[in-house]
Amino acid sequence: MLLIGIIILLDGWIVSLFSNFNIGNAIVVIAGVAIIAYAIFINRIKHIKIINYIILICLSSFFAIAIFIFIAGRIDTVNFTEDAVIVLGAGIKGDTVGAGLASRLDKCVEYVSKNDKAVIVVSGGQGPQENISEALAMERYLIDKGISKDKIIKEDKSTSTFENFKFSKEILDSKFGERYNVAYITNDFHIYRAGVTAKRVGLEVSNFSAGIEFYMIPPTYAREVLAVLKMWVVK
């Protein structure tokens, strides 16, 4: 347990160095410290059953939700006949696209290769650790990959998944009217919550999922489990 705690702590710390520090990274660091403390003091608290029951329930719930999110992210529903594709933004470092966002954009390039008639909406505002909007960074990345600028529409005001879809829908409503089909692209861990959110703003969507680097799994899933719990409770 001590070794596991150290590995988790180092993962959260190292990922924070190479990406923006966020709640997911913070959770991983805190979890690592908590596991290390539990390993050190286990002989003193192992006889206190209520603590062990609470830990067991929390861990079981966390992994059950994480597995559900993982399975949902493995199922693509696109048919490559959609009128538009929305690429959801993610954190950038200064003006550089990170690995997670790059995988979404690479998936967009793959999508367009199969449906070159679709309009691309890149959606993401500018965060506190970002020099430009995520949408602008995404547009530049796609242009570098050979996508024509004329096919890309920037939505650069959103600060959440809800606003990603809300503001993108306003743009697409003005372009297509009321009847159009939309696909959205995000990383696999985000597919489930994004789909529920899209429906809540009135979009009928299909999804196309992108993977993530293995070292990003702990912080992204830790953050996403909490986000899904909040969505279920707060709606």
Distance CA 30, CA 35 (A): 9
Looking at residue 158, its pLDDT comes to 95
Question: Is the separation of the CB atoms in 233 and 198 below 8 Å?
Answer: no
Average pLDDT of the residues in 206-220: 88
Average confidence (pLDDT) over 166-182? 95
Q: Residue 145 is encoded by which pair of tokens?
A: 């990959």
* pLDDT per residue as tens digits for the range 3-43: 888 888 887 777 777 666 667 678 888 888 888 888 888 87
**Token pair for 78:** 């696109």
Q: Which residues contact 203 (CB under 8 A, 6 or more apart)?
A: 165, 169, 182
Alpha helices in the chain (DSSP H): 2-18, 23-45, 49-72, 99-114, 134-144, 161-176, 191-200, 217-234
| Per-residue model confidence as pLDDT tens digits over 99-132 | 899 999 999 999 999 999 999 999 999 987 789 9
Alpha carbon separation from 43 to 35, 37, 38, 40, 50 (Å, rounded): 14, 11, 9, 8, 15
pLDDT at 191 over 90: yes
pLDDT level of residue 218 (50, 70, 90 thresholds):
confident
Lowest-confidence pick of 65-69, 82-86, 138-142, 217-221 = 217-221
pLDDT of residue 226 exceeding 90: no
**pLDDT tens, position by position, 42-94:** 877 777 788 778 888 988 998 999 999 999 999 999 999 999 999 999 888 88
- Cβ within 8 Å of residue 119, ≥6 positions away: 83, 84, 85, 151, 153, 172, 175
SS3 state at 187: strand
Predicted pLDDT of residue 19: 65
Domains of the chain: 2-72 (no CATH), 84-234 (3.40.50.620)
Q: What angle do CA 208, 210, 216 make, to 5 degrees?
A: 150
- pTM (2 decimals)? 0.84
